[in-house]
Amino acid sequence: MTIIALTLLVLLFISNKSPTTGKDVTQSSSAGSNYLIGVGRADCTGPAAEVPLMGYANPDQLAGGILSRLYSRAFIVAEPDDSKRVVFVSADIGMVSQRLRLEVMKKLKSKYGELYRQDNVILSGTHTHSGPAGYFQYTIFVISSKGLIRPSLNAVVNGIVESIDIAHQNMKRGRLFINKGLVENSQINRSPYSYLQNPASERSRYSSNTDKEMVLLKMVDVNGQELGLISWFAIHPVSMNNTNNLINSDNVGYASYLFEQEKNKGLLPGEGSFVAAFASSNLGDVSPNIKGPHCINTGESCDNPHSYCPVGGAKMCMAAGPGTDMFDSTKAIGKNLYLKAKDLYTLASQEVTGPLHSAHQWVNMSNVTVQLNATHSGKTCKPALGYSFAAGTIDGVGFFNFTQGK
Protein backbone atom coordinates (compact mmCIF):
# COMPACT_ATOMS: atom_id res chain seq x y z
CA MET A 1 0.00 0.00 0.00
CA THR A 2 1.36 3.37 -0.99
CA ILE A 3 0.95 6.13 1.57
CA ILE A 4 1.91 9.73 0.97
CA ALA A 5 2.35 12.21 3.80
CA LEU A 6 0.66 15.38 2.68
CA THR A 7 1.51 18.53 4.59
CA LEU A 8 -0.56 21.61 3.94
CA LEU A 9 0.50 25.11 4.84
CA VAL A 10 -1.93 27.95 4.43
CA LEU A 11 -0.98 31.60 4.81
CA LEU A 12 -3.93 33.91 4.30
CA PHE A 13 -2.82 36.72 2.01
CA ILE A 14 -4.68 39.96 2.70
CA SER A 15 -3.65 43.04 0.78
CA ASN A 16 -5.69 46.19 0.28
CA LYS A 17 -4.87 49.04 -2.06
CA SER A 18 -5.22 52.56 -0.74
CA PRO A 19 -7.78 54.44 -2.87
CA THR A 20 -5.60 57.54 -2.73
CA THR A 21 -2.04 56.25 -3.05
CA GLY A 22 -2.56 52.87 -4.68
CA LYS A 23 -0.01 51.42 -2.26
CA ASP A 24 -0.46 48.30 -0.19
CA VAL A 25 -2.13 48.86 3.14
CA THR A 26 -1.97 46.10 5.72
CA GLN A 27 -5.38 44.98 6.92
CA SER A 28 -5.64 44.38 10.63
CA SER A 29 -6.41 40.83 11.67
CA SER A 30 -6.17 38.52 14.63
CA ALA A 31 -2.49 38.17 13.81
CA GLY A 32 -1.91 41.92 13.80
CA SER A 33 0.56 43.40 11.34
CA ASN A 34 3.55 41.29 12.39
CA TYR A 35 4.61 37.70 12.91
CA LEU A 36 7.40 36.15 14.92
CA ILE A 37 10.04 35.09 12.40
CA GLY A 38 13.21 33.05 12.76
CA VAL A 39 15.71 31.94 10.11
CA GLY A 40 18.63 29.53 10.33
CA ARG A 41 21.18 27.73 8.18
CA ALA A 42 23.36 24.71 8.96
CA ASP A 43 25.73 22.42 7.07
CA CYS A 44 24.33 19.06 5.93
CA THR A 45 27.04 17.99 3.45
CA GLY A 46 27.82 14.46 4.64
CA PRO A 47 30.53 12.06 3.39
CA ALA A 48 32.49 13.49 0.47
CA ALA A 49 34.06 10.40 -1.09
CA GLU A 50 33.25 6.87 -2.23
CA VAL A 51 29.48 7.14 -1.69
CA PRO A 52 26.88 7.18 -4.50
CA LEU A 53 25.28 10.49 -5.40
CA MET A 54 21.50 10.81 -5.14
CA GLY A 55 19.43 11.63 -8.20
CA TYR A 56 20.52 9.90 -11.39
CA ALA A 57 20.12 6.39 -9.94
CA ASN A 58 23.60 5.49 -11.14
CA PRO A 59 25.38 3.38 -8.49
CA ASP A 60 28.70 4.01 -10.26
CA GLN A 61 28.43 7.79 -9.87
CA LEU A 62 30.47 8.15 -6.69
CA ALA A 63 31.39 11.27 -4.76
CA GLY A 64 35.02 12.28 -5.17
CA GLY A 65 35.25 15.64 -3.43
CA ILE A 66 33.30 18.82 -2.74
CA LEU A 67 32.58 21.64 -5.18
CA SER A 68 30.21 23.43 -2.79
CA ARG A 69 28.96 22.50 0.65
CA LEU A 70 25.32 21.60 1.20
CA TYR A 71 23.07 23.48 3.62
CA SER A 72 19.74 23.15 5.35
CA ARG A 73 17.84 26.44 5.52
CA ALA A 74 15.04 26.76 8.07
CA PHE A 75 12.31 29.37 8.43
CA ILE A 76 9.91 29.61 11.36
CA VAL A 77 6.82 31.82 11.28
CA ALA A 78 4.62 32.16 14.37
CA GLU A 79 1.58 34.17 15.45
CA PRO A 80 2.47 37.30 17.47
CA ASP A 81 1.22 35.62 20.64
CA ASP A 82 3.11 32.42 19.67
CA SER A 83 -0.13 30.44 19.71
CA LYS A 84 0.63 28.83 16.34
CA ARG A 85 3.81 28.35 14.37
CA VAL A 86 4.99 26.71 11.16
CA VAL A 87 8.46 25.54 10.11
CA PHE A 88 9.60 25.35 6.49
CA VAL A 89 12.97 23.76 5.69
CA SER A 90 14.69 23.67 2.31
CA ALA A 91 17.72 21.37 2.29
CA ASP A 92 20.33 20.90 -0.44
CA ILE A 93 19.46 17.23 -0.94
CA GLY A 94 17.77 15.13 -3.61
CA MET A 95 14.49 14.85 -1.77
CA VAL A 96 13.15 14.15 1.72
CA SER A 97 12.63 10.49 2.51
CA GLN A 98 10.12 9.24 5.05
CA ARG A 99 12.94 7.74 7.10
CA LEU A 100 14.71 11.10 7.13
CA ARG A 101 11.56 12.88 8.25
CA LEU A 102 10.89 10.37 11.02
CA GLU A 103 14.40 10.80 12.44
CA VAL A 104 14.18 14.60 12.26
CA MET A 105 10.83 14.59 14.04
CA LYS A 106 12.20 12.25 16.72
CA LYS A 107 15.06 14.65 17.47
CA LEU A 108 12.76 17.67 17.48
CA LYS A 109 10.38 15.99 19.91
CA SER A 110 13.22 15.16 22.30
CA LYS A 111 14.25 18.84 22.30
CA TYR A 112 10.98 20.72 22.06
CA GLY A 113 8.22 18.32 23.09
CA GLU A 114 5.05 19.00 21.10
CA LEU A 115 6.12 22.42 19.80
CA TYR A 116 7.25 21.04 16.43
CA ARG A 117 5.01 18.27 15.12
CA GLN A 118 3.91 16.39 12.01
CA ASP A 119 1.31 19.05 11.28
CA ASN A 120 3.55 22.14 11.44
CA VAL A 121 6.95 21.03 10.10
CA ILE A 122 7.48 21.02 6.33
CA LEU A 123 10.70 19.48 5.00
CA SER A 124 11.67 20.06 1.36
CA GLY A 125 14.66 19.03 -0.73
CA THR A 126 16.00 21.30 -3.46
CA HIS A 127 16.36 18.17 -5.62
CA THR A 128 20.04 18.59 -6.39
CA HIS A 129 21.37 15.43 -8.02
CA SER A 130 24.86 15.99 -6.63
CA GLY A 131 24.45 15.20 -2.94
CA PRO A 132 25.30 11.97 -1.08
CA ALA A 133 22.73 9.17 -1.28
CA GLY A 134 21.84 6.49 1.27
CA TYR A 135 19.07 7.97 3.41
CA PHE A 136 16.00 6.27 1.92
CA GLN A 137 14.06 3.23 3.03
CA TYR A 138 12.36 2.34 -0.27
CA THR A 139 13.85 -0.51 -2.31
CA ILE A 140 14.40 1.30 -5.61
CA PHE A 141 16.45 3.99 -3.88
CA VAL A 142 18.30 1.52 -1.67
CA ILE A 143 19.47 -0.40 -4.74
CA SER A 144 20.94 2.62 -6.54
CA SER A 145 22.56 3.96 -3.35
CA LYS A 146 23.93 0.52 -2.40
CA GLY A 147 22.06 0.43 0.89
CA LEU A 148 21.80 2.65 3.93
CA ILE A 149 24.70 5.06 4.38
CA ARG A 150 24.47 6.09 8.02
CA PRO A 151 26.98 9.01 7.82
CA SER A 152 24.94 10.47 4.97
CA LEU A 153 21.65 10.11 6.85
CA ASN A 154 23.12 11.52 10.06
CA ALA A 155 24.57 14.56 8.30
CA VAL A 156 21.23 15.53 6.78
CA VAL A 157 19.22 14.85 9.95
CA ASN A 158 21.65 16.80 12.13
CA GLY A 159 21.88 19.64 9.62
CA ILE A 160 18.11 20.04 9.39
CA VAL A 161 17.65 19.95 13.16
CA GLU A 162 20.50 22.41 13.71
CA SER A 163 19.05 24.85 11.18
CA ILE A 164 15.71 24.69 13.01
CA ASP A 165 17.53 25.19 16.33
CA ILE A 166 19.17 28.35 15.00
CA ALA A 167 15.89 29.70 13.64
CA HIS A 168 14.17 28.87 16.94
CA GLN A 169 16.79 30.75 18.94
CA ASN A 170 16.55 33.85 16.74
CA MET A 171 12.80 34.47 16.65
CA LYS A 172 11.94 38.15 16.38
CA ARG A 173 8.95 40.23 15.45
CA GLY A 174 8.87 40.79 11.71
CA ARG A 175 6.91 41.16 8.50
CA LEU A 176 6.39 39.06 5.37
CA PHE A 177 6.07 40.31 1.80
CA ILE A 178 5.24 38.32 -1.32
CA ASN A 179 6.10 38.95 -4.95
CA LYS A 180 6.11 36.95 -8.16
CA GLY A 181 7.29 37.26 -11.74
CA LEU A 182 8.33 35.35 -14.85
CA VAL A 183 11.81 33.88 -15.33
CA GLU A 184 12.96 33.58 -18.94
CA ASN A 185 15.78 31.64 -20.63
CA SER A 186 16.24 29.18 -17.78
CA GLN A 187 14.16 26.06 -18.44
CA ILE A 188 12.64 23.75 -21.04
CA ASN A 189 10.21 20.85 -20.91
CA ARG A 190 12.40 17.75 -21.23
CA SER A 191 9.46 15.54 -22.29
CA PRO A 192 7.60 17.76 -24.78
CA TYR A 193 6.12 14.87 -26.73
CA SER A 194 4.69 13.35 -23.56
CA TYR A 195 3.26 16.75 -22.63
CA LEU A 196 1.39 16.78 -25.94
CA GLN A 197 -0.54 13.72 -24.76
CA ASN A 198 -2.44 16.00 -22.38
CA PRO A 199 -5.81 17.17 -23.73
CA ALA A 200 -5.63 20.28 -25.92
CA SER A 201 -8.24 21.91 -23.70
CA GLU A 202 -5.90 21.56 -20.75
CA ARG A 203 -2.81 22.74 -22.62
CA SER A 204 -4.67 25.80 -23.87
CA ARG A 205 -4.90 27.13 -20.33
CA TYR A 206 -1.18 27.88 -20.33
CA SER A 207 1.11 29.98 -22.48
CA SER A 208 4.03 27.54 -22.18
CA ASN A 209 4.74 23.86 -21.52
CA THR A 210 6.64 24.88 -18.35
CA ASP A 211 5.68 27.07 -15.40
CA LYS A 212 7.86 30.18 -15.66
CA GLU A 213 6.58 31.96 -12.56
CA MET A 214 8.84 32.52 -9.56
CA VAL A 215 7.15 33.17 -6.21
CA LEU A 216 9.21 34.90 -3.53
CA LEU A 217 8.56 35.42 0.18
CA LYS A 218 10.61 38.23 1.75
CA MET A 219 11.25 38.42 5.50
CA VAL A 220 12.29 41.50 7.49
CA ASP A 221 12.10 42.43 11.17
CA VAL A 222 9.99 45.33 12.46
CA ASN A 223 12.93 47.70 12.10
CA GLY A 224 13.39 46.78 8.44
CA GLN A 225 16.45 44.60 8.99
CA GLU A 226 16.60 41.93 6.31
CA LEU A 227 16.22 38.36 7.57
CA GLY A 228 15.90 36.17 4.52
CA LEU A 229 13.79 34.88 1.67
CA ILE A 230 12.24 31.77 0.19
CA SER A 231 11.98 31.56 -3.59
CA TRP A 232 9.96 28.85 -5.31
CA PHE A 233 10.60 28.15 -8.99
CA ALA A 234 10.07 25.10 -11.20
CA ILE A 235 13.48 23.87 -12.31
CA HIS A 236 15.48 20.67 -11.97
CA PRO A 237 18.90 21.18 -10.34
CA VAL A 238 20.57 19.03 -12.99
CA SER A 239 22.90 21.51 -14.66
CA MET A 240 25.58 19.17 -13.29
CA ASN A 241 25.12 15.97 -15.27
CA ASN A 242 25.64 12.31 -14.40
CA THR A 243 29.36 12.42 -15.16
CA ASN A 244 29.88 14.71 -12.16
CA ASN A 245 31.62 13.36 -9.06
CA LEU A 246 31.77 16.50 -6.93
CA ILE A 247 29.23 17.20 -4.20
CA ASN A 248 27.41 20.46 -4.91
CA SER A 249 24.05 22.19 -4.65
CA ASP A 250 23.72 22.81 -8.42
CA ASN A 251 21.99 25.83 -9.97
CA VAL A 252 19.56 26.66 -7.15
CA GLY A 253 22.35 26.33 -4.60
CA TYR A 254 24.48 28.72 -6.62
CA ALA A 255 21.58 31.19 -6.60
CA SER A 256 21.44 30.90 -2.79
CA TYR A 257 25.20 31.40 -2.64
CA LEU A 258 25.04 34.60 -4.71
CA PHE A 259 22.19 36.09 -2.70
CA GLU A 260 23.67 35.22 0.69
CA GLN A 261 27.11 36.49 -0.27
CA GLU A 262 25.56 39.79 -1.31
CA LYS A 263 23.67 40.20 1.96
CA ASN A 264 26.35 38.74 4.25
CA LYS A 265 29.19 40.83 2.86
CA GLY A 266 32.73 39.96 3.87
CA LEU A 267 31.77 36.57 5.29
CA LEU A 268 32.52 33.08 4.06
CA PRO A 269 29.79 30.97 2.42
CA GLY A 270 27.52 29.51 5.09
CA GLU A 271 28.18 32.37 7.49
CA GLY A 272 26.02 35.40 8.26
CA SER A 273 22.47 35.97 9.47
CA PHE A 274 20.73 36.41 6.11
CA VAL A 275 19.31 33.14 4.73
CA ALA A 276 18.16 32.70 1.12
CA ALA A 277 16.46 29.47 0.08
CA PHE A 278 15.76 28.67 -3.55
CA ALA A 279 13.29 25.88 -2.91
CA SER A 280 11.77 23.27 -5.21
CA SER A 281 8.25 23.53 -6.59
CA ASN A 282 6.48 21.89 -9.55
CA LEU A 283 9.74 20.92 -11.26
CA GLY A 284 8.77 17.59 -12.79
CA ASP A 285 10.19 17.31 -16.33
CA VAL A 286 11.47 20.91 -16.19
CA SER A 287 15.11 20.99 -17.27
CA PRO A 288 17.72 23.78 -17.03
CA ASN A 289 19.53 22.35 -20.05
CA ILE A 290 18.02 24.88 -22.42
CA LYS A 291 20.11 24.00 -25.49
CA GLY A 292 18.04 20.83 -25.65
CA PRO A 293 18.99 17.25 -26.51
CA HIS A 294 21.76 16.37 -28.92
CA CYS A 295 23.78 13.28 -29.76
CA ILE A 296 27.01 13.58 -27.84
CA ASN A 297 28.89 11.48 -30.42
CA THR A 298 27.74 13.27 -33.59
CA GLY A 299 26.38 16.61 -32.41
CA GLU A 300 23.08 16.25 -34.27
CA SER A 301 19.73 16.88 -32.58
CA CYS A 302 17.90 14.00 -30.92
CA ASP A 303 14.77 16.03 -30.18
CA ASN A 304 12.42 13.24 -31.19
CA PRO A 305 9.69 11.25 -29.37
CA HIS A 306 12.15 8.53 -28.33
CA SER A 307 15.18 10.76 -27.58
CA TYR A 308 17.13 8.38 -29.79
CA CYS A 309 20.35 8.86 -31.76
CA PRO A 310 20.97 7.12 -35.12
CA VAL A 311 24.39 6.02 -33.90
CA GLY A 312 24.56 4.72 -30.34
CA GLY A 313 20.86 4.85 -29.54
CA ALA A 314 19.28 6.50 -26.51
CA LYS A 315 22.41 6.47 -24.37
CA MET A 316 23.99 9.06 -26.69
CA CYS A 317 21.12 11.55 -26.35
CA MET A 318 21.85 14.21 -23.72
CA ALA A 319 20.70 17.79 -23.13
CA ALA A 320 23.10 20.66 -22.55
CA GLY A 321 22.86 23.91 -20.66
CA PRO A 322 23.74 27.42 -21.85
CA GLY A 323 27.38 27.33 -20.74
CA THR A 324 30.56 25.90 -22.20
CA ASP A 325 30.39 22.96 -19.76
CA MET A 326 28.25 21.80 -16.84
CA PHE A 327 30.10 24.02 -14.36
CA ASP A 328 29.54 27.10 -16.50
CA SER A 329 25.89 26.15 -17.10
CA THR A 330 25.31 25.76 -13.36
CA LYS A 331 26.54 29.29 -12.78
CA ALA A 332 24.60 30.72 -15.72
CA ILE A 333 21.25 29.28 -14.66
CA GLY A 334 21.91 30.02 -10.98
CA LYS A 335 22.73 33.63 -11.83
CA ASN A 336 19.48 33.95 -13.81
CA LEU A 337 17.50 32.76 -10.79
CA TYR A 338 19.44 35.04 -8.45
CA LEU A 339 18.92 38.13 -10.61
CA LYS A 340 15.17 37.54 -10.90
CA ALA A 341 14.87 36.86 -7.18
CA LYS A 342 16.86 40.01 -6.44
CA ASP A 343 14.45 42.04 -8.56
CA LEU A 344 11.37 40.49 -6.92
CA TYR A 345 12.89 40.91 -3.45
CA THR A 346 13.69 44.58 -4.03
CA LEU A 347 10.21 45.37 -5.34
CA ALA A 348 8.21 43.19 -2.93
CA SER A 349 5.47 45.39 -1.43
CA GLN A 350 2.42 43.16 -0.98
CA GLU A 351 2.38 42.31 2.71
CA VAL A 352 1.27 38.92 3.96
CA THR A 353 -1.08 39.17 6.92
CA GLY A 354 -3.74 37.08 8.59
CA PRO A 355 -3.92 34.00 10.79
CA LEU A 356 -1.52 31.09 10.38
CA HIS A 357 -2.73 27.54 9.74
CA SER A 358 -1.09 24.21 8.99
CA ALA A 359 -2.32 20.63 8.71
CA HIS A 360 -1.07 17.12 8.02
CA GLN A 361 -2.93 14.25 6.40
CA TRP A 362 -2.07 10.68 5.42
CA VAL A 363 -3.48 9.73 2.01
CA ASN A 364 -3.59 6.23 0.54
CA MET A 365 -2.84 7.20 -3.06
CA SER A 366 -3.63 3.71 -4.35
CA ASN A 367 -7.28 4.03 -3.31
CA VAL A 368 -8.54 7.50 -4.13
CA THR A 369 -11.76 8.19 -6.02
CA VAL A 370 -11.52 11.10 -8.44
CA GLN A 371 -14.65 12.79 -9.74
CA LEU A 372 -13.99 13.43 -13.44
CA ASN A 373 -17.27 15.20 -14.23
CA ALA A 374 -20.91 15.17 -13.21
CA THR A 375 -21.45 11.59 -14.40
CA HIS A 376 -18.08 9.85 -14.32
CA SER A 377 -15.49 9.11 -11.66
CA GLY A 378 -12.22 7.23 -11.62
CA LYS A 379 -10.19 5.40 -9.02
CA THR A 380 -6.46 5.25 -8.49
CA CYS A 381 -4.65 1.91 -8.44
CA LYS A 382 -1.47 0.35 -7.13
CA PRO A 383 1.66 2.05 -8.47
CA ALA A 384 3.80 0.63 -11.24
CA LEU A 385 6.86 1.71 -13.20
CA GLY A 386 6.40 1.72 -16.96
CA TYR A 387 8.85 0.75 -19.69
CA SER A 388 9.86 4.32 -20.46
CA PHE A 389 10.70 4.96 -16.81
CA ALA A 390 13.83 2.84 -17.26
CA ALA A 391 14.91 5.07 -20.15
CA GLY A 392 15.56 8.01 -17.86
CA THR A 393 15.49 11.46 -19.46
CA ILE A 394 17.60 13.70 -21.67
CA ASP A 395 19.13 15.02 -18.43
CA GLY A 396 20.29 11.56 -17.42
CA VAL A 397 19.79 8.51 -19.58
CA GLY A 398 18.97 5.12 -18.06
CA PHE A 399 20.63 1.76 -18.62
CA PHE A 400 20.32 -0.97 -21.28
CA ASN A 401 19.19 1.41 -24.05
CA PHE A 402 15.56 1.63 -23.00
CA THR A 403 13.84 4.41 -24.95
CA GLN A 404 11.32 7.06 -24.00
CA GLY A 405 7.85 7.35 -25.51
CA LYS A 406 6.82 3.70 -25.24
Residues annotated in the binding site, as ranges? Answer: 127, 236
Three-class SS state of 403: coil
Residues annotated in the binding site for Zn(2+), as ranges? Answer: 127, 236
Residue 214 within any structural domain of the chain: yes
Residue 228 within any structural domain of the chain: yes
Three-class SS state of 126: coil
| Residue 268: partners with Cβ closer than 8 Å, 6 or more residues away | none
In this structure, which amino acid lies at residue 287?
S
What is the crossing angle of helices 98-112 and 150-169, to 10°?
40
Active site residue 83: no
CB 39 within 8 A of CB 88: no
CB 76 within 8 A of CB 87: yes
CB 132 within 8 A of CB 150: no
- For residue 59, which phi and psi values (nearest 5 degrees)? -65, -15
Query: What's the length of the chain?
Result: 406
Residue 295 Cα distances to 84, 161, 190, angstroms: 54, 44, 15
Residue 107 within any structural domain of the chain: yes
List pLDDT tens digits, range 257-316. Answer: 999 999 999 999 999 999 999 999 999 999 999 999 999 999 999 999 999 999 999 999
Considering Cα of 160, then 166, then 172, then 177, what sign does the dihedral take? negative
Comparing CA positions, the residue from 65, 49, 94, 77 lying closest to residue 249 is 94
The pLDDT of residue 268 is 97
pLDDT tens string, the chain, 406 residues long: the values are: 333 343 444 444 334 443 333 344 333 333 345 999 999 999 999 999 999 999 999 889 999 999 999 999 999 999 999 999 999 999 999 999 999 999 999 999 999 999 999 999 999 999 999 999 999 998 888 998 999 999 999 999 999 999 999 999 999 999 999 999 999 999 999 999 999 999 999 999 999 999 999 999 999 999 999 999 999 999 999 999 999 999 999 999 999 999 999 999 999 999 999 999 999 999 999 999 999 999 999 999 999 999 999 999 999 999 999 999 999 999 999 999 999 999 999 999 999 999 999 999 999 999 999 998 999 999 999 988 888 888 888 898 877 777 887 6
Residue 405 within any structural domain of the chain: no
β-bridge partners, 392: 397
**CA pair distance 400, 57, nearest whole angstrom:** 14
The pLDDT of residue 397 is 84
Residue ranges making up the domain that contains 267: 3-16+24-291+327-366
Residue 171 within any structural domain of the chain: yes
Residue 403 within any structural domain of the chain: no
Task: Provide the terminal-to-terminal Cα distance of the chain, rounded to the nearest Å.
Answer: 26
Residue 314 Cα distances to 259, 275, 293, 322, 395, angstroms: 38, 41, 11, 22, 12
β-bridge partners, 319: 293
In this structure, which amino acid lies at residue 396?
G
List pLDDT tens digits, range 157-212. Answer: 999 999 999 999 999 999 999 999 999 999 999 999 999 999 999 999 999 999 99
Number of domains observed in the structure of the chain: 1
Residue 284 within any structural domain of the chain: yes
Among residues 145, 256, 287, 307, the one annotated as catalytic is: 287
Residue 380 within any structural domain of the chain: no
Structural element, H or E, at residue 327: helix 326-347
